[in-house]
Amino acid sequence: MKDKLLRRISLWVAFIVAISIAVNGQQTQPQNAPSVERLRAHIEYLASDKLEGRRTGSPGANAAAEYIAREFSRYGLRRSIGYDTAGMSILEADSPNRYLQKFPYVAGVELGKNNSLTVTLTSANVPETQGSLKTQTTEVFQVGEDWLPLGLSAQGTVKDTPAILVGYGLSVSELKYDDYANANVAGKVAIAFSGTPDGDNPHGQFARYEDVRWKATAAHAAGAKALVVIVSESNFSDDRLARLHYDNSAGDAGIPVIAISRQAAAKLLAADSSVLAEMEQRLRLQKPHVDEDPAARPPRYLVQVSLSTDVVRREVEAANVVGILDGSDPVLKKEVIVIGAHYDHLGRGGEGSLAPKEGDIHHGADDNASGTAGVLELARFFRSQKLRPRRTIVFIAFSGEEEGLLGSNYYVNHPIVPLADTVTMINMDMIGRTKDNKLIVGGVGTAPEWRQVMAAANAPERIRVAVAPASPGDMPRPITSSATGREVPIVTGSNGSPVVSVSFEKSFDLTLNEDGFGPSDHSSFYVKQVPVLFFWTGTHEDYHKPSDTADKINYADEVRILNLVTRVVYDIDTTDKRPAYTVAKSDSTGRATGFRVYLGTIPNYADSNDGLLLDGVREDSPAAKAGIKAGDRIVKLAGRDVHNVYDYTYALGEMKAGQEYEVQLMRGGERLTLKLTPAARK
Ligand SMILES: [Zn+2]
């Protein structure tokens, strides 16, 4: 640093302070700083009816991706193409839109051609001597009218297989309830009523076993060849099971699972519909009904089922949008700061929605048009600065977040720049609803530097001096602000004239959370040992509802959040040493799932077929003590086969704290059996 330069800087400081106080008494902002008007334009577009809620894989989400890519292109960000060195993703060279990183996604499921259901009833218990009176009837049921395979159904065929009624088809040991206790269903087709013994009571003890997944899991575990679920609505097409739906994070149930109309079920059970209702009622009254033995009652008919299920998964491409701003430093440009936010939302409701009904557009202005607009504004800001950050910044708008962090999960497994060179990931998810000046920052335990960085960035008064080095390699050093006594970082630039900015911006009332895990995309990076910071303004009454609209965004405070993030980025960038990844203490023992036990595993929700893949294991948790590691695939837990996250959750629900259980897992190609003792959930 040259003396002459320093004098020039102090003159500039004095000049700018004088101007800002004398002229308008307001803060000065660097050129092209994030603005209310631009944020509003982005959010109003992304959250408009036209984009129909941006459900991953939908035309609305694709339109949003194109919009973001166009903006990236307008700012002059580099396309990710060109980073196709070994082990990294190669983005489509011939695509009109090379900012897109596409990943496979099941957008929906449709009926295939091979769906059939035939039922044969043979009268049973007719004395041999009257054999000639033995009757047999065959019913062919129409797919779409009488029955429908469920989205979670495996493709499969069963032929002339005996079927038995298994009540609600639930097996819940924590409630000492087991419809399979005395029903030998192995090798047979299980027939179950939908719902639970609690009826429709959302607060009943069975409420969390309401999902048909539980029945499928129980039937599969009991060795059933297929599961037939009797719907509850008398008009089949009114029932929610009579709609095909697919859950990307769970995979299929392992056996054919179908829903059947009450009219068809009555024929299947050789009963009329009033008898059917009676049976259901009786089941409800007799809970728990472990002692009932349906097999002990002689059936009047032998029911045999022939069934084929054919559900076609409609795979579409979903896309992250990735834009690159190359660093200005010849050495440090190899290192990357990722600034990301998801742009997908819930479409017209359904899975993940908290709206009472499906069909209305979920605008997702706060969740997460606000964060997406933030990424755009930060991209524009950093790209427009003459003094570029020394490190490379990769801006990413993720998709598939609402379906289980699918886009960020794909990115960390197909990174544009190796994750080892990714020094920080900054995630913004829901930053548009600042209230009472409060801002939550997660991940501060993931690097020892974060608390200090946040405190400095949030200081009420600050000065930023950016000076170009006299010659390449002559790095400017930090100077000390006379106002705060704190070291002020100096940003390296490419042009000769010094740039000084002074601001007196109000501080946020920060809540700092240690944990690097959380229900958003930074989790995917933290799992890969990248230090993370997660900015959000908290939940609200419009969360995951159609009413999360653009008019409710606090634009002025979002600008302040983006300015804060800018300072965080500059602080990281002006320090030669990259933030050190640290394992953070977790703030809680996990999400409130209602389970009584705690293991400390972090499941990978995007990949959970053939066992439950673990992204990580919390420190000092029961899982860690058992010797379970990131990358392990749990295949059996507490005596239950684990094919996916649902089986796993099911097993978890049956475990007791302090009791030792066996867990089997695949590590490398090896199958290991470990002993695991769950802790009580606080
Ligand atoms: Zn959300």
Report the DSSP beta bridge partners of residue 510: 439
Task: Determine the number of helices (DSSP H) and then strands (DSSP E) in the chain.
Answer: 13, 32
Distance 362 CA to ligand 1 centre (A): 10
Distance 604 CA to ligand 1 centre (A): 18
- Residues of the chain with pLDDT > 90, as a percent, come to 46
Distance 403 CA to ligand 1 centre (A): 9
Distance 395 CA to ligand 1 centre (A): 20
Distance 59 CA to ligand 1 centre (A): 19
C-alpha to C-alpha distance for 515 and 102, rounded to whole angstroms: 29
C-alpha to C-alpha distance for 555 and 317, rounded to whole angstroms: 32
What CA–CA distances, in Å, run from 165 to 169, 190, 229?
Answer: 8, 6, 10
C-alpha to C-alpha distance for 488 and 464, rounded to whole angstroms: 6
Tens-place pLDDT, residues 313-336: 888 889 999 999 999 999 999 999
CA pseudo-torsion sign 59, 61, 67, 70: negative
Distance 425 CA to ligand 1 centre (A): 19
Tens-place pLDDT, residues 10-55: 444 444 443 333 333 344 456 789 999 999 999 999 999 999 999 9
Residue 44 half-sphere exposure, CB side, CA atoms within 13 Å? 8
Specify the pLDDT at position 533: 97
Tens-place pLDDT, residues 234-263: 899 999 898 888 777 666 788 999 999 999
Distance 429 CA to ligand 1 centre (A): 8
C-alpha to C-alpha distance for 351 and 153, rounded to whole angstroms: 17
Distance 320 CA to ligand 1 centre (A): 16
- Residue 95 binned pLDDT confidence (cut-offs 50, 70, 90): very low
Length of the chain: 682
Kindly list the protein residues that place their beta carbon closer than 5 angstroms to ligand 1, a single-atom ion.
367
> Is the CB of residue 344 less than 8 Å from the CB of residue 399?
yes
What CA–CA distances, in Å, run from 625 to 360, 600, 630, 674, 676?
Answer: 47, 10, 13, 10, 8
b/e string for 94-104 if b means 16 or more Cβ within 10 A?
eeebbbbbbbe
C-alpha to C-alpha distance for 482 and 463, rounded to whole angstroms: 9
Residue 618 half-sphere exposure, CB side, CA atoms within 13 Å? 22
Distance 598 CA to ligand 1 centre (A): 25
Distance 367 CA to ligand 1 centre (A): 5
Distance 368 CA to ligand 1 centre (A): 7
C-alpha to C-alpha distance for 494 and 388, rounded to whole angstroms: 7
Distance 69 CA to ligand 1 centre (A): 22
Q: Measuring CA to CA, which residue among 584, 602, 573, 590 is closest to residue 444?
A: 584
C-alpha to C-alpha distance for 677 and 617, rounded to whole angstroms: 14
Q: Which of 94-98, 176-180, 314-318, 673-677 reaches the highest mean pLDDT? A: 673-677
Tens-place pLDDT, residues 363-377: 999 999 999 999 999
pTM recorded for the entire structure: 0.63
Helix axes 371-384, 36-46, angle to 10 degrees: 140
